[in-house]
Structure formats: C-alpha cells, structure tokens
Amino acid sequence: MWSIQFSKIAHNDLIKLDGKIRLRVLNKIQWLRSGFNELYHESLRGEFAGLIKLRVGDWRIVYQIQKEKSVILVHRVEHRSKVYRRK
C-alpha cells in the first residue's frame, strides 16, 4: 500500500488554500493513493524532470514516486499559473 508524505513547502501550500479547494485537493490525493497502480502518471520535463503532476481543476499537485519505499512525496500544491515558477 502506498503512503503519502508532504514536503514542508507542500504542507504550507495546503494551509494557504481555501477550505473547499483544500478538501478537493486532499480527496484527489487520497484517490491517487488508492488507485495508484491503475493510473497514468503524467511526468514533467525540463527542470521538473522526475516529478509528476496531477490536476485538480485549475490547481496542480506535483509529486514524486519513491518506489523502494512505496511513498508518494507531494512537493507542491499550487495554482497552475504559479506552480512551475521557481521560488
């Protein structure tokens, strides 16, 4: 069974979200966890190579798969207009 971990940045991203959006994002992460092996994971390219994105309306969840640990590590949760910008 896959487990979910959040980076400090992703945790802070979640805290900043409106309650309804936060609930949608968390439900989508749970959906990802439960159906992980049946899903297509959309890999990113360029400077974000090695990361994967998941869409939740206009929001994006950027995560990494750690197969050896069976962990889905969430790196960012941000609006699509901001998620691919460097901080």
What are 40-86's pLDDT values in tens digits?
Answer: 899 999 889 999 999 999 999 999 999 999 999 999 999 999 998 76
Asked if residue 62 belongs to a domain, the reply is yes
In the predicted structure, residue 87 carries a pLDDT above the cut 80: no
Structural domain contains residue 86? no
Domain of residue 66 covers 3-79
Please give the structure tokens belonging to residue 20. Answer: 């309804």
What's the CATH code of the domain at 60?
A: 3.30.2310.20
Buried b / exposed e across 49-65, counting CB within 10 Å, b at 16+?
eebbbbebeebbbbbeb
Structural domain contains residue 51: yes
Let me know if residue 61 belongs to a domain.
Answer: yes
